[in-house]
Structure formats: structure tokens, C-alpha cells
A and B are shown apart, each in its own frame.
Chain A
Amino acid sequence: MKKLLLFLMIAGVYFLHQDNWNWKSYDLVFGFLPTGLAYHAGYSILAAVMMAVLVKFAWPKHLEDVQPEKPADQNRDAERHE
């Protein structure tokens, strides 16, 4: 369930990027910032929030315990000698 919700969140944020409703808007925010630009500036903040949610709820914690094994070159060399 958690995975599905997170997936829906990512998909939702992705769809919000395609803001067709702002395409021809001439309105200004704060009297100088075009709506399309202000919207996507806000979108950048939304993307940061989305990443914070992912870090909180989907962080690959198992990777924190990873320890070095044999270096790659040694692995391949060993395989060659086998």
C-alpha cells in the first residue's frame, strides 16, 4: 500500500509538470512574474517536497549496511583463473 501511494505521488507530481492550463496565461504574480514561470518555480519546491517524502518513507535503508567485498578487478581476474 505504501509503495502504491508513493508511486501515485510521483505520477501525480509528474502530471502536474504538464500544466496545459497555464500555456497561454498572461497573468502576472507579484506584478512582475509571469504565471507560467511562477508555477514552475513552485513546482521545483514541490519536487523538493516529493523527494523529502521519498527519503522519509522509501529510503533504501538496507544499503547503509553494505560492506566492501572483493574489488571488481579481482573478481574478474579470479573468474578468469577458475
Chain B
Amino acid sequence: MIPVIVIAAYLLIIATIGIIAFKRGQSNTEDFFLASRTVGPMVFFLSIFATNMTAFAILGSSGLSYRRGIGIYGLMASSSGFVIPLTIFFIGTRLWALGKRFGHQTQVQFFRDRWECDGIGTVIFALSAAMLVPYMIISIMGGGTVLQEISTAKGSHDPLIPYWLGCAIVAVVVTVNVFFGGMRGTVWVNIFQTILFLCFGFVAMVVISHAFPGGFGEIVAKIGADPKSSFLLTRERMPQTEFWSYTLIPLSSIMFPHMAIMCFSARKVTAFKRTVIIYPIAIMLIWLPCIFLGVIGAQVIPGLKDSDGILLRLLNDNAPAWLAGLLGAGIISAVMGSDAHQVLAMSTMFTKDIYTHYGGREKYGEKAAVHFARAFILAVTVIAYLIALYLKSRQGIFEIAIRFAFSGFAAMAPVMIAALFWKRSTKWGALAATLFVAGTLVTFAFLQGSPAPPAAPAKPATAVAAKITPPDAAAVTKADAVEIKGMTNDTAKAIQQPAADAKPAAVTASVAPKPKMIVLWQIGDHVILSRAPATGDVRFWNSSSNPAGGYMTVVPMVFGSALCMIVFSLLTRPPSRKTIEKYFGEPKPEPEPAIAASAR
């Protein structure tokens, strides 16, 4: 009961901040969507960080390290700490300047103007919106799950806040905050939220460590001494190709519509300075304790089916109730901070890129545009909530969608880079790259399989895998290919190879046949596309014996998109000289103050 009271108080504070921001706001779209471009340096950092940190940063990271070990930090956190500040530095600052000069409020407005084409903006809008919606839905689902977990008393199976109510609470609070406060309300709330979840990791580490008399050293020693779990302390089961591929994923960050919109909202470009320096440290403060505690959890509470709940379990078991509530509020902060920006971004995009662009503002006026935006926020939240309820048990669908969304947004980065830095880039290049990204997303989503159930070692991973004739593992070579239903003999093949795939400590304890790589496309001896049975992930160019080896799909997507951009731009007519001068000429100097001019 105590954690629920603490979280209720927290949610009340959030809603109140939104309403106060509403009273300070003005009735125009620039104020509603960008807080009149007045966000100061520290608030800018706290807000842009909250925009990027989802529940995954806390729950997902610890859940993954529970299964795969410490390598998750290098895979996701330190690569993000390197790439994201660089993209904010090189791309975010330029976006800010263009927004300031020409009044752009969304990426699509910039693309339309830069390439003198309405259509390219609409295509990119459609793709971005399609990749963003699953993100919003899973945020609500994540919030509902967290509230349900936290409100379940020890030893009980009946939560005080059931899933449907938890989703509703998160949806209502986010809606109130964004509906009334717009960007101003969202960034004010972010200040509170980011501080809360930045403190979360450190406090959780200290509290949980006190529960173990031998300290963390003793637990880590036990993990290392057990051959079934020792891999958690290294990356020996993590393919190096996967590790390298992941460095491309953070390119997605600057392409997220909510991140780009945040870049437009800064008062001065100097606000970016502090942000890019602190960003890697802030990532470390959150991810390091979460990943370490995930590994500790594999030893302390082994055998969890839903490993994403490991941190909540550790907190519930080892922290006082009020502190568990406060830390739970920290997790909810991460959920709601990013969700609010996603909702606001969707609303901004629809209002600016569709409603205003196609004449809505001219017809109904500026105030009506804000009303339209608010109505859209309500509608999109209600729809997301209903989908979250309807697909409660199918959360995996959205997780897969999000994984693809990350790759998709990352693959759109060459389009943004070309728009900002390459004069010769054309709308046809951008269109080819966008269609390539959309096409590969659909193809890879189609080829993606479901992860193998951890407790079903003898069964094949997917329906497709079930069609594979299982040959004798010892005698298998790459030539042992058999037909897979629905694919041609040339492309649909399966081979068996020894698996070195990562598994949770408790799961590896069971005696299971080694999972087998499923070859989807092969030319000669080269496996172009394959699928890892344990995760269902599609892999590109797997030349190793590891079924989970090969590069992630983001690699061909990013390089393919860049190639499309280059080739089609060179083959088509460049933008007009007027546009080139507008975007690549010297910006107009600041006008001299009238008093100084007259005094001369």
C-alpha cells in the first residue's frame, strides 16, 4: 500500500505541473509545441535526456543483462554515450539554427523546404509516424505493468492496481500533462522526472547492497565460479559482429521526431554545449547500476521467466516499502518522460505537417490549430490505450516493432546528413532512401521469427523452424540444407551448427539440443540472411559458426540507405540555386541595434 501512495503523490505532482504550465502558456502553436523556443541550457539537457530514456533503460537493460551479462552495457549504453552526443553536436545544432532562421518546427518542414518538394515530406512523415506509434503503445503497456508489479504485495498475486488501471493512470497523467502544458508542461515535468531517475540507479545499488552481508563481491565471485553462469561476467557469448552493429543503432536518436523537435525548442544554440558533455555521464549513471544489478539478480533470483522484472523484484525484496515506492516512481518517470514527448511529437507532426501544410490553419486560424492539436492528443492516447489493453499478452509484437523502428530511424540518418551537409543531394535521392528503408523494414519484419521459449528446449523456435528436417548434429555441414515452407529451394535453407548463443543462467542448466541457424538466403557458401533461433533475429552476412552471429539488419539498412541517397542524387537534377544559397549560404548577420546605428 505504501508504494502505491508514494506513486500516487508523484503522479499528482506531475499533473499539477502540467496545469501550472497551461496557465503560463499562450494560444499559438509555436508556444504549445516548442515553448516559444525558450528552453534554457539545464532544462534542455534534462528534457532531451528524458526524451531519450524509456523504461527500457531501467527495466529492459537489467532484464537483458540478467540473460546475457555485462556486455549489454558496451552494446547499448557506451555506444549511445559516444554516438548520441556526436549527433546532437553535429546535427542537432544545425537543426536548431535552421528552425530559428526559417521557422521550422518539424523535420518534415525542413525536408520539404530543403528539397522543394511536398511529396517527400509526406512520405517521410508517414514512415516516421508508422515507426513512432508502437513506441507510444508500449510506453503505456510498460507503465501499466510497472504499476501492477509495484502494487502487488509480497506473497500475493492480486495487485492493488490491475494492468488496465495502471495503463489508464499513465495515459491520463501523460495526457493531462501534454494536453494542458504542451512542450512547456512536458519540459517542466522532465526536470523533476530526470532528476528522480538519475538518482534511481545509485540509490538502488546502495540499498540492495546492504541486503547482502558479503556484499556484491561475494555474489560476483559465485557467478564467476559457476560454469553455467560465469559467461555473464564477460562477452564470450556475444558475437563481435553484433557488438559492432549496435554502434549504428544510436544514429536513430536524432531521427526520432521527438528528439528533433526538442532540438528546435532550445532558446540558444549554446544550450547544446552542456548537454553533449554531460550526456555520456548521465547514461552511465542510469545504465551501469541497472546492468550490474541485472547480473547480480541472475545469481540471487535465478530462473525468472520475465527477466525485465528483476529490478522490481530486487527492490521489493530488499528495500523498505516507501523507498520501493519512490524508486518505482523513478521507473514510471522514465516511462512517462519519453511517452509525453512521443505524444507531443505525434501531435506536432500531424498539426504542422498535415493540418497546417494542407491549409487547415489558413481556413480555421491559429487558435483552432492548437485545439486541433489537443484533440489529436486525446484521440491518439485513447487509441493507444485501447490497443495496449487489447494486445496485453502480445507485448512482444510491439517490442519487435520497436526494434525495427530503431533500425528504421537509424537508416534514415543518411537522409538527414545529406540534407544538412551535401548540397548536391536531391529529393529523388531522399525518396529512394526512404522507400529503401520502408521496403527493408517490411521485408525484415516478415522474415523475423519469434524467440524460442526458454523452457522448451526440445522444440524448434518457430513454425518455420518446425519444417526443418533435424539431421544428426554431429554430421551437419552447410550443405545440409532443406526446404522451408513458403520459400524457394535456392533461398530457403536450414543448416545446423553448434550454438554459442547466450542464455540465462537458470535456463542453461536444462539439457537442451543446440539451436540451429536458419538460412534464409544464401549465395554459394555465403550466408547472406539468416535467423538466430534463440531470439528470432534476422542476421546479415553470417560467416561464423554461431547461429546468432552475423551483422544486425541495421547494417545493410544504413549503408543501403546511404547508397540510395548518393546514387539517385547524382543521377537526378540538383535543387535550385536559390535553395542551395538559402541553406548553404552565409546566414544573415544580426541587425545592428538602432541606437548604435543612429549614434554613429
Contacts A28-B220, A60-B93 hold; do A47 and B269 have CB atoms under 8 A apart? no
Residues of B within 8 A of A44 (CB): 77-78, 81, 280-281, 283-284, 288
**Which chain A residues in 13-52 approach chain B with CB under 8 Å?**
13-14, 17-20, 22-26, 28, 31-34, 36-37, 39-41, 43-45, 47-48, 50-52
Q: Contact string, B78-116, partner A, CB cutoff 8 A, digits 1/0?
A: 110110011001000110110011111100011011001
Select B96's contact among A37, A55, A63, A76, beta carbons within 8 Å.
Answer: A63
For A3, the chain B residues whose CB sits under 8 A away are none
Whether B215 is near chain A, meaning CB under 8 Å from some CB there, is: yes
Interface contact A40-B74, CB-CB below 8 Å: yes
Chain A residues with CB under 8 Å of B244's CB are 18
B439 interface hit (Cβ, 8 Å) = no
Residues of B within 8 A of A34 (CB): 70, 220, 233-234, 295
Interface of B is mostly: helix
Distance of A28 from chain B, by nearest CB (Å): 6
In this complex, how many residues of chain B approach chain A with their Cβ under 8 Å: the count is 65
Q: Using Cβ atoms and an 8 Å threshold, which residues of chain A touch B101?
A: 66-69
- Whether A41 pairs with B234 at a CB distance below 8 angstroms is no
Residues of chain A lying within 8 A (CB to CB) of residue B269: 60, 63-64, 66
Per the CB 8 Å criterion, the residue count for chain A at the interface is 50
Can you name the residue of chain A whose Cβ is closest to the Cβ of B30? A71
By DSSP majority rule, is chain A's interface helix, strand, loop, or mixed? helix
Would you call B216 an interface residue if the criterion is a C-beta within 8 Å of the partner chain's C-beta atoms?
A: yes
How far is A22 from B73 in the complex, measured between Cα atoms in Å?
Answer: 13
Set B70, B105, B356: member contacting A36, Cβ < 8 A: B70
Interface-central residue, A19, A31, A72, by most chain B CB under 10 Å:
A72
Contacts of B102 in A (CB 8 A): 69-72, 75
In the complex, what distance in Å separates the CA atom of A34 from the CA atom of B295?
10
Q: How far is the CA of A74 from the CA of B164 in the complex (A)?
A: 45
Q: Which residues of B contact A72 (CB under 8 A)?
A: 102-105, 109-110, 112-113
Task: Name the residue among A14, A59, A63, A68 with the largest chain B CB count within 10 angstroms.
Answer: A63
Q: State A28–B81 Cα separation when bound (angstroms).
A: 23
Q: Hey, which bits of chain A sit against chain B, CB under 8 A? A: 10, 13-14, 17-20, 22-26, 28, 31-34, 36-37, 39-41, 43-45, 47-48, 50-52, 54-55, 59-60, 62-76, 79
Closest 7 pairs between A and B when the two form their complex, measured CB to CB = A71-B103, A47-B280, A44-B284, A32-B217, A40-B78, A37-B70, A32-B216
A sample of 21 cross-chain residue pairs with beta-carbon separation below 8 angstroms, ordered by A number, consists of: A31-B217, A32-B215, A34-B233, A36-B233, A41-B284, A43-B81, A45-B281, A48-B277, A50-B82, A55-B273, A55-B276, A63-B587, A66-B100, A67-B588, A67-B589, A68-B103, A69-B103, A69-B588, A70-B103, A71-B102, A75-B102
